[in-house]
Amino acid sequence: MPALNFSEVLKDKVIAVQDYSLLAGRSLTNIFGQPRYYADTLLQADLIGVGSLPIVVLIGFFTGAVLALQTASTLQQFGSLSLTGKLVALSMVRELGPVLTGILVAGRNSSGMASELGSMKVTEQIDAMRAMGVDPTRKLVTPRVVATVTMLFFLSIISDLLGLSGGFMISYFLLGLDANQYWTTAYQALRFGDVFMGLSKPVVFGFIISSVGCYYGMSARGGTQGVGRATTQAVVSASVLIVVIDFFLTKLLMQMF
Amino acid sequence: MASPAAPIETPGPAKTSPSARLLTFDHVSIAFENPVLDGVSFQLARGETKVLLGESGTGKTLILKLALGLVKPDAGRITVLEQEISSMREQDMYDLRRDIGMVFQESALFDSLTVEENVAYRLIEETGTITDEIHARVIEALEFVELGHTYNLFPAELSGGMRRRVAIARAIITQPQLLLYDSPTGGLDPVTSNTIIELVVKQRDVYKTGSLLVTHRLQDAFTMASHYFDRKLNKMVPVEPGSQRDVHTRFVILRDHKIIFEGTATELLRCNDPYTREYLS
C-alpha cells in the first residue's frame, strides 16, 4: 500500500467539502426552479416520516420517562419535585426531542439514502439519468432534502409530546404528582425562545441528514464495498454533525433569545 | 418509432459540410492519474457509424462519456450536434442530451422501475405519467428489439441479453440524432451478440442514426461493416461481393492515448502497421 501523502489527503478533504457544499447548495436552489418532483417528494416523505414514526414514538416516550425518573431523585433532595414537568418540558423541547429524533432519523434514513443512491451510482444508473437529460440532484436529492426537513420538523414535535407524556406517566403513577401541576409547570416553563429553538433545530438537522446521506451516496465508488463504506460514513458524519452543530446552534439561539 | 426513415438504398447525406457533422473531437486530451487521451481528433458524420477498437484502458468508454458531456476534457474541443460542449455547464447539457441515446455497458436500467417505465423514462419526464400514446411508443420500441411482451417485467427478471435490448429500446425511443453504444455485446453469448449487432445495424440502416460503438469483439465490428439490414426480408444480410453499397461504417483504433488508425474495414485489412496486424490476428 503506498504511503499517504499529507498534501494529497488534505486536497481530497478540501475537494470533498467543496463537492458537498455544491450539492447542498444545488439541492436548495432546485426548489425554486422547474421541474419539481412532487410525487418523489411525497414518496420520500412517506418513507422518512411515516416510516420513522414508530421508533420516534417509542424513543420519545421512554426518553421523557427516564428523564423524569432520573431527575426526580435530585429534585426531591431540594424539595422541588413539583418542577419535574418544567424540567422535562425544557429538556425535551429545547434539546432532547430534536437531537434524539435527528440522530434516530440519521441512523435510519441517512444510511438508506446513501445505500440507495450509492447502488444507483455504482451501477451507472445516475449516469444513465444524466445521459437522458434528467438532473439527478433535482430528481433524487432535492425531494429527499425537502421531505426530510419537513418530516423531521413534525417528528420532533411528536417526540416532544410523547416525551412529555412519558414524563407525566412517571410523575403521576410513580412520583404521585398531580396531573394538573405537571402539565401547568411544563406549559408555563416554555417561552417563545424555547419553542423557537426546538422547532428550528429539526430544520437544520433535517437538511444535514439528507444532504450528507445524498452526498455520500452520489460520491460512492468501488462497487458493493464502496456502497457499504458510503452508508457507514453517512451515518457517522450526519450523527457527529448533528451533535456538533447542535452546540453552536444552541449557543447562537441562547444569545438571540 | 413514429415514422420509419428512408430505406438503406437511399444514399446518405454528404459527409463534408459542417452541418452534416454530428460529433467532432478536436485535439481532445484528458488525464486522471495518468494520461488517457492525448490530442485525439475525429469526426462523425450524420448516418455514419464509427466503431472504436483498442485494448482495455485505452479510453474508448471515456470517449463516449466525453461525447455525452458526462466527463469534461482537460484540453481540446468537443462539438456535439453543432454545440461546443467542452466548457458547457452541466445544467445546460440536459437539453442537448435529450437528442443523444446511450447504451451503457451493463445496461444501467433502473432496477426499481418496470421495463415500460425504463423505456418511457424520458417521455414520462415530459408528461409526468404513462399516457396511452407513450404506452404505444414503448410497445413499438420494445417490438423493435423483439421484447414487446416484457413491458411489465422488472429488469431483474430479464436475462443479460434482454436487458441490453431493453437498454437499446430506451436509447432509441425518442429517435435521437446520435447513439452511443458502450460494449453492447460484452459478456454475451455469440447468438445473443449477433441479435444485438443486428439491432444496431437495423438502427443504422433503417433510421440512419449516427453512432459511436465501442467493442472488444472484432467479429461484431466486421459483421457491422459487411452486413446491411434488408427491410423486405426484415433481417441483416451480407453485402454482396463486389457491391458498391456503402454501409457507412468506419473503424477507429486507439493505442497509447492516440488514434493509430481510422478508416473502412477494407483499409483496416490492408493496413501494414505491425501493432494493427497483431491486434487483428
Tens digits of residue pLDDT in B17-27: 445 789 999 99
Structural domains counted in chain A: 1
Tens-place pLDDT, residues A97-139? 999 999 999 999 999 999 999 999 999 999 999 999 999 999 9
Indicate if the alpha-carbon torsion angle B22, B75, B61, B218 is positive or negative.
positive
Tens-place pLDDT, residues A207-257? 999 999 999 999 999 889 999 999 999 999 999 999 999 999 999 999 988
Asked if residue A32 belongs to a domain, the reply is no
Q: Where residue A8 falls among pLDDT bands split at 50, 70, 90?
A: confident
Enumerate the domain spans of chain B. Answer: 19-99+179-280, 109-175
Q: Does A124 touch chain B (CB under 8 A)?
A: yes
Q: Does B83 touch chain A (CB under 8 A)?
A: no
Into which CATH architecture does domain B19-99+179-280 fall?
Answer: 3-Layer(aba) Sandwich (3.40)
What are φ and ψ of residue A208, in 5° steps? -65, -50
pLDDT at B16: 42
- Which of 115-144 (B) contact A at CB < 8 A? 121-122, 125, 128
Chain B residues near residue A124 by CB distance under 8 angstroms: 104-106, 108
Asked if residue A10 belongs to a domain, the reply is no
Looking at every residue in chain A, the average pLDDT score rounds to 93
Chain B residues near residue A128 by CB distance under 8 angstroms: 102, 104, 108-110
Q: Is residue B1's pLDDT more than 80?
A: no
Q: Is pLDDT larger for residue B187 or for residue B56?
A: B56
Asked if residue A13 belongs to a domain, the reply is no
Q: Does A181 touch chain B (CB under 8 A)?
A: no
pLDDT at B129: 86
Looking at every residue in chain B, the average pLDDT score rounds to 88
pLDDT at B18: 45
Q: Give which of B57, B84, B58 is closest to B73, Cα–Cα.
A: B84
Asked if residue A201 belongs to a domain, the reply is yes
pLDDT at B242: 80
Mutate which: B102, B126, B180, vs A, most A CBs within 10 A: B102
Q: Is the pTM of this model over 0.95?
A: no
User: How many CB atoms are closer than 10 A to CB A215?
Assistant: 28
Check CB contact under 8 Å for B108 and A127: yes
CB pairs under 8 A between A and B: 56
Tens-place pLDDT, residues A135-180? 999 999 999 999 999 999 999 999 999 999 999 999 999 988 899 9
pLDDT at A3: 60
pLDDT at B19: 56
Q: Is pLDDT larger for residue A61 or for residue B270?
A: A61
Q: Which domain holds residue A151?
A: 38-256
* 3-state helix/strand/coil string of chain B: CCCCCCCCCCCCCCCCCHHHEEEEEEEEEEECCCEEEEEEEEEEECCCEEEEEECCCCCHHHHHHHHCCCCCCCEEEEEECCEECCCCCHHHHHHHHCCEEEEECCECCCCCCCHHHHHCHHHHHHHCCCCHHHHHHHHHHHHHCCCHHHCCCCHHHCCHHHHHHHHHHHHHCCCCCEEEEECCCCCCCHHHHHHHHHHHHHHHHHCCCEEEEECCCHHHHHHHHHEEEECCCCEEEECCCCCCCCCCEEEEEEECCEEEEEECHHHHHHCCCHHHHHHHC
User: How many CB atoms are closer than 10 A to CB B49?
Assistant: 26
- Which of 23-82 (A) contact B at CB < 8 A? 35, 39
How far does Cα B220 stand from its chain's mean position? 13
Chain B residues near residue A133 by CB distance under 8 angstroms: 94-98, 122, 125
Q: What is the ipTM of this complex?
A: 0.84
Q: Is residue B12's pLDDT more than 70?
A: no
Q: Is residue B102's pLDDT more than 80?
A: yes
Chain A residues near residue B32 by CB distance under 8 angstroms: none
CA-based nearest distance B163→chain A, Å? 13
Q: Does B72 touch chain A (CB under 8 A)?
A: no
Q: Is residue B15's pLDDT more than 50?
A: no
Tens-place pLDDT, residues B148-206? 999 999 999 999 989 999 999 999 999 999 999 999 988 888 888 898 899 999 999 99
Q: Where residue A2 falls among pLDDT bands split at 50, 70, 90?
A: low
